[in-house]
Each structure stands twice: as C-alpha cells, then as structure tokens.
C-alpha cells in the first residue's frame, strides 16, 4: 500500500511537470523558433500533405501510361421468351414463297469471361507523366515559397519583440532617471531655488515615460500573440523570448534566392506539358487485348451437368482514335497554348524581378547597417549632452527646459537605436532565409 502511494505521487508529479512544460515555451534564438514552427505550424503540415498528393498524382500518371485493364464478368440469363425468326418454308419441304416460324437460342445461358487490355502506345497518357512530374516540382517550389514567407513573417515578429524588449529596458532606465530629475526639481522648489513649473514639467515628463513603458509592454505581448498565430502555439501557452546577445551583424553571403523565378518557369513548363497531353489525347491509341471466355447453354436449367462449357479466346491489337476531335479538347488545346505563352512571358519578367529583388535586399541590409552605426554615434552624443545638461542644471546655470529636451533627445535616440538594431538583424535574417530556401 505504501509503495502504491509513492508511485501515485510520482505519477502526479510527472504529470504536473509535463503540463507546465507544455504550457510554457522559451526561445533563445530565431532558429529555435523557426524549428518549432517547421514542426508544429499548420501551414508546414499542409505543405507536406500537398507534396504527398502531388507525389501520388505522378505515380498514378505513370500507372495510367499503360492503362492496364482486366475486366472480369459473369452472367446467367434466363431467357423467358426467346426471339422468333422466320425462314423460308421450302427448306423444310414447304411450298415456295412461304415462311416457317421458328424459335432460336437456349433458355438458360451462362457466360464467364475476362478481357485484359494494355496500351502499347498512348500519347495522351504518356504526356501526362511529364505534366504530373512538373506539377510535383511546382508544388514543392510553391511549398518552399510558403515556408519562406512564413519564416520571414516569424523573423519580423521576432525582431519586433527583440526591439521592444530592448526599448523596455531603456524605458525602465529612463523612468528611473526621470524620477531622479523630479526629485532634484522638488528639492530645488522646496529650497526656493527652483520654480514650481519645473517640478510640474518633471512630473509630466515622468508620466510620459511611464506611459511609453506601458505601450512598449503592450506591444511586446501583441507581437508574441502574432508569433503564436504564425507558429500555431495555443493561446494558453506562455511564450518567452530570451534572445542571446549577438557578436556582430556581418553577412558573408549575398542574396541568391530564385524560388519565385523557378515557380514561374515551372508554370511555363506545366502549361506546355498540359498542351502536349491534350494534343496527345487526340492521337491514335494502340492497345494489346486478349479475350478468353466460357459459355454454357441449356434448356433444362442453369449449370446443366449434361451441357458442356463452350470455350473461345483471341489475341489482337486494337487502334482507337477520337474522330472527329471533341470541340472541348480543341478549345482546351487552344487555351493551354495561350496560357503557355503567358507563362513564358511571366517567367522572363519574374527572373528579372527576382534579380532586382535580391539587389534590393542587399541594399536594405546596407542601409540598416548604416542607420545602426549612425544611431550608435547619435546616442553617444545625446548621452554626453544629457550628462552635461544635468550637471549644469544642478549647478543652477541651465534652465530646466533644456534639461528636459536633452533627456527626451537621449531617450528618443536610444529607442531609435534599438529599432535600428532589430531592423539590421531582421534584414540579415531575411538574406539567410532567402538563401536557405532554394
């Protein structure tokens, strides 16, 4: 009994720990979040199923290229009233010009036969193999595009969280500085060396910083909710973003993504393959067919033991061709031809567009790097201005209005630098993602 209680307590403990693990997720890098999304995201799982469907479509097209058919049939007919025929009566010794009514056939007829056929030459179905193969490749590329888009969206949300978290730290520090300025203004006002307006402005400044802090914290939760939606994380799960510090933002590789142009090129190939498939369906089909059957006839009953099975079989070639061609197939052929031309033009345009897009991606990274470096220098200058302004205000040689301007300039420059740092990291990750999906 004692051992049972111990086992039960251990089981409860493990269950609670499992529940806690399931209700809280912590990510220390964007890669770890992307790996989670790759395993859990509904978009990723849908893409996997679409790839599987495309694979089986190709397998079906290969199987249908020979179009093997092996129909088996059995029938047992009771001819309740046999057909009546008229033959010249003179064949039975009757007068010329007269006819005699006779009934032909057997009342009970049983048939068993099978008729396997296989296409030796089927241009339409052979062309469908190429169409299914290109369609499978296009599905895989489109799925890669979906995953790439999802990864970029996750990277954007991640960067927003990182920027806001850094802004939260900056704002908390600034709030402490604002409180310190307020206390200095209060001391001066009580000592009769400061104005009441300065204290009021200091209090208002502190309230503004506190409001900014609340907005930043709300923004963090909103971005985490966006991450939950993108990664299909349950709403009840607590998500923690704890990015590790980075050593730099250097990018060694240039943007080389070409998924979009690949998709447009495959769409052009698919239109051509479908055109060939439609045209092939209007060509002759050569089939090899074999027939073997057994028939038993009787006027006594089904499966009459005194009646023998009559056996027959044959082997031959069969050529079939739709003539005249169906109007719908002619129309489809023309539509596919026009679609092929449009797809070819889109492919040319898409290749140029993607080359320029890669160049733009590099320009965005270079621009964000310059903005971050400039922002870092501005923060140093604004910090020096604030420190000097604070010292001069405490010494009574600088009005409080200039101190508040220096304080807000420093806060604004720090917040801008945090945004610039996150933007730089986001553009770096975009290049990595762009080169990863090929």
Q: DSSP labels for 143-204?
A: HHHHHHHHHHHHHHHHHHHHHHHHHHHHHHHHHHHHHHHHHHHHHHHHHTSS-HHHHHHHHH
The whole-number average pLDDT for the span 254-269 is 86
Q: What is the DSSP letter of 69?
A: B
Q: What percent of the chain shows pLDDT beyond 70?
A: 92
Q: Give the CATH number of the domain where residue 255 resides.
A: 1.20.1600.10
Opening angle at CA 309, ends 305 and 313, nearest 5: 170
215 in a domain, yes or no? yes
110 in a domain, yes or no? no
Which has the closest alpha carbon to 142: 43, 57, 1, 25? Answer: 43
How many CB atoms are located within 10 Å of the residue 224 CB? 19
**Tens-digit pLDDT profile for residues 314-363:** 898 888 887 776 767 777 777 878 877 888 888 888 888 888 888 999 99
The number of domains in the chain is 1
The pLDDT score that the predictor gives to residue 251 is: 60
Residue 4 has pLDDT above 70, yes or no: no
pLDDT class of 191 with cuts at 50, 70, 90: confident
pLDDT class of 247 with cuts at 50, 70, 90: low
Q: Which domain holds residue 266?
A: 23-71+122-284+328-436
Question: Which regions of 220-357 does DSSP assign to beta strands (E)?
Answer: 238-241, 285-298, 310-320
**Tens-digit pLDDT profile for residues 92-142:** 777 777 777 777 778 888 889 988 888 888 888 888 888 888 889 888 898
Which has the closest alpha carbon to 406: 431, 437, 376, 382? Answer: 382
pLDDT class of 248 with cuts at 50, 70, 90: low
- Per DSSP, the three-state class of 357 is helix
220 in a domain, yes or no? yes
The β-bridge partners of 84 are 103
Under 8 Å between Cβ of 155 and 427: no
Which has the closest alpha carbon to 201: 364, 21, 403? Answer: 403
The whole-number average pLDDT for the span 417-424 is 93
300 in a domain, yes or no? no
Measure CA 189 to chain center.
Answer: 64
The whole-number average pLDDT for the span 204-226 is 95
- Backbone torsions φ then ψ of 199, nearest 5 degrees: -65, -40
Tokens of 168: 């939260």
Residue 178 has pLDDT above 90, yes or no: yes
Q: What angle do helix axes 327-394 and 259-280 make, rounded to 10 degrees?
A: 170
More confident residue, 3 or 34: 34
366 in a domain, yes or no? yes
The whole-number average pLDDT for the span 47-66 is 81
Among left, alpha and beta (phi > 0; psi -120 to 50; other), residue 105 is left
290 in a domain, yes or no? no
The pLDDT score that the predictor gives to residue 16 is: 44
Residue 59 has pLDDT above 60, yes or no: yes
pTM, whole model, 2 decimals?
Answer: 0.77
159 in a domain, yes or no? yes
Give the whole-angstrom CA distance, residue 405 versus residue 399.
Answer: 10
**What average pLDDT does the chain have?**
85
Under 8 Å between Cβ of 42 and 232: yes
294 in a domain, yes or no? no
């Amino acid at each position: 009994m004692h051992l049972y209680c111990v086992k039960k307590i251990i089981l409860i403990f493990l269950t609670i720990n499992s529940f806690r693990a399931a209700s809280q997720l912590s990510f220390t890098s964007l890669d770890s979040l992307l790996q989670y999304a790759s395993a859990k995201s509904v978009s990723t799982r849908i893409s996997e199923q679409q790839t599987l469907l495309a694979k089986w479509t190709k397998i079906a097209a290969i199987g249908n290229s020979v179009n093997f058919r092996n129909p088996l049939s059995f029938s047992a007919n009771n001819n309740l009233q046999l057909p009546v025929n008229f033959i010249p009566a003179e064949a039975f010794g009757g007068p010329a010009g007269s006819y005699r009514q006779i009934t032909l056939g057997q009342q009970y007829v049983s048939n068993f036969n099978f008729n396997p056929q296989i296409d030796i030459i089927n241009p339409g179905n052979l062309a469908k193999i190429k169409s299914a193969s290109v369609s499978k490749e296009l599905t895989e590329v489109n799925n890669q595009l979906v995953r790439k888009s999802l990864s970029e969206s996750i990277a954007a949300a991640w960067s927003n969280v990182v920027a806001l978290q850094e802004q939260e730290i900056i704002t908390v520090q600034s709030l402490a500085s604002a409180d310190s300025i307020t206390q200095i203004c209060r001391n001066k006002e009580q000592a009769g060396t400061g104005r009441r307006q300065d204290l009021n402005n200091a209090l208002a400044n502190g309230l503004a910083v506190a409001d900014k802090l609340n907005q930043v914290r709300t923004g963090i939760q909103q971005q985490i909710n966006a991450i939950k939606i993108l990664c299909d994380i349950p709403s009840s799960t607590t998500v923690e973003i704890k990015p590790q510090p980075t050593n730099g933002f250097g990018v060694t590789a240039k943007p080389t993504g070409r998924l979009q142009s690949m998709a447009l090129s495959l769409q052009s190939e698919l239109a051509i393959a479908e055109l060939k498939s439609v045209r092939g369906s209007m060509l002759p089909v050569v089939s090899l067919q074999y027939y073997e059957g057994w028939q038993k006839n009787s006027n006594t009953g089904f499966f009459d033991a005194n009646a023998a099975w009559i056996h027959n079989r044959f082997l031959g070639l069969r050529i079939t061709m739709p003539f005249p061609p169906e109007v719908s197939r002619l129309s489809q052929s023309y539509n596919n031809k026009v679609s092929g031309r449009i797809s070819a033009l889109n492919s040319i345009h898409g290749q140029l567009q993607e080359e320029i897009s890669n160049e733009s991606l590099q320009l965005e990274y270079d621009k964000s790097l310059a903005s971050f470096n400039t922002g870092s220098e501005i923060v140093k200058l604004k910090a020096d201005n604030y420190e000097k302004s604070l010292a001069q205000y405490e010494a009574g040689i600088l009005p409080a209005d200039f101190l508040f301007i220096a304080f807000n300039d420093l806060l604004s420059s720090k917040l801008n630098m945090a945004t610039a740092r996150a933007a730089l990291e986001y553009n770096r990750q975009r290049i990595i993602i762009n080169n990863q999906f090929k």
